[in-house]
Amino acid sequence: MYEQFFIIFALVILGFFLGRREIMDEGTNAGINKLIMRFIVPCMFVYKIGSLEMTGETMCEFFLTVGVFTLVLFAGGLYAHFYSRIRKFPRENSNVAEFCMVLPNNAFMGFPVASTFFGELGLLMMAATNAAMNIYMFSYGVILMDRNTDCDDGGKESAVKESGKSLFIGHALRVLKHLMNPMMASLVISLVICGLGIKLPSAVNELLGQISGLCTPLAMLYVGSTLSRGRLFEVLKSSMVIEAGLNKIITMPLMTWVIVYFLPMSPVAKAMCVLAASMPTAAMTSMLAGDYHQDVKLAGMILLVSTALSAATMLGFIQLINIYII
């Protein structure tokens, strides 16, 4: 396990230096992001989840994990709301801080980490937490982002406020666009393959395995390169950013641990819920904030801080998971 820790740390550090030297520039990072999310992760799903022997118990565990992690996210949203009220975060962007405190990067970082440390079953349960994240993001998350669109900083009516009907249609189209992607499609295909016991040809399986092996190194290089572009020390001057980031990577996984501890779930399912919650803020927070004309800069700063600090906290939670859950 410690060798795996070292490899992940080394890849992030290497990505940081490659970013500093502009060997991995913004264009390269954009290409790597698309490559991982639209091609490599779908291949990894088919290769690893498709090879599982899917029993009725495993399928029930998958949907139970979706439900439990959805509950975890809504509980986290409630906590974030009261925390922002108690700390008196500015109303004009407190909704963004609350969203960033809850939504985890359990796809881009979660999938490779789960696959590396917990194998095929871990990857399946991490995919379940990602399904829960989508439920949260396109229900309460959209309501949260829409909370401040009726007025700008001066209290004037926003030019982007839509009528009720057009807002509903626009929201529905955004949800469909997000859900109809290669990653979600490959998850469904993988569940069908393992559910029906379909065996892929050995050559195809070998090809998918080779492609899947690219996920962890490319993802960690990307994380390191992204961190090299942020002005971390300037960002650390904002107490709201620091508090939101620390709540994301420390409070959320601890809260999740308490919730899942007493539930009738398998150790792997419990472990993946805690691991998913320990992930830094998802990049989707910035995208959704921009979509609803909210504080994109704040979302980006919280994303930067939580990602930088999660290198230590996430691996610490992996160690605790292996000691006390698995």
pLDDT > 70 fraction of the chain, expressed in percent and rounded: 88
- Average pLDDT value for residue range 72-84: 96
Q: Which of 82-86, 146-150, 158-162, 275-279 has the lowest mean pLDDT?
A: 158-162
Give the chain's mean pLDDT: 86
- Average pLDDT value for residue range 159-169: 53
pLDDT > 90 fraction of the chain, expressed in percent and rounded: 48
Cβ partners under 8 Å of residue 121, min gap 6: 52, 58, 268
Note the pLDDT of residue 159: 43
SS3 93: coil
- Average pLDDT value for residue range 38-49: 91
Taking the CA of residue 246 as centre, how many other CA atoms within 13 Å lie in the half-sphere pointing to its CB? Answer: 8
Note the pLDDT of residue 177: 64
Note the pLDDT of residue 153: 47
- Average pLDDT value for residue range 27-36: 90
Q: Which of 133-142, 239-248, 284-293 has the lowest mean pLDDT?
A: 284-293
Residue 265 pLDDT level (bands cut at 50, 70, 90):
very high
CATH of domain 2-150+183-324: 1.20.1530
- Average pLDDT value for residue range 303-321: 89
CA distance 162 to 183: 31
Higher pLDDT among residues 135 and 171, named by residue: 135
Note the pLDDT of residue 158: 45
pTM score: 0.84
Is residue 179 scored above 80 in pLDDT?
no
The dihedral through the CA atoms of 250, 77, 30, 110 has a sign that is positive
- Average pLDDT value for residue range 267-271: 96
What token pair was written down for 88? 């008196």
Note the pLDDT of residue 207: 96
How far apart, in Å, do the first and last CA atoms of the chain sit? Answer: 14
pLDDT digit string (tens) for 147-163? 765 544 444 444 444 45
- Whether 216 and 40 have beta carbons less than 8 Å apart is answered as no
Note the pLDDT of residue 172: 63
Note the pLDDT of residue 185: 86
SS3 151: strand
Is residue 129 scored above 70 in pLDDT?
yes
Q: Which of 47-56, 84-93, 117-126 has the lowest mean pLDDT?
A: 47-56
The ranges assigned to domains in the chain are: 2-150+183-324
Higher pLDDT among residues 207 and 162, named by residue: 207
Note the pLDDT of residue 208: 94
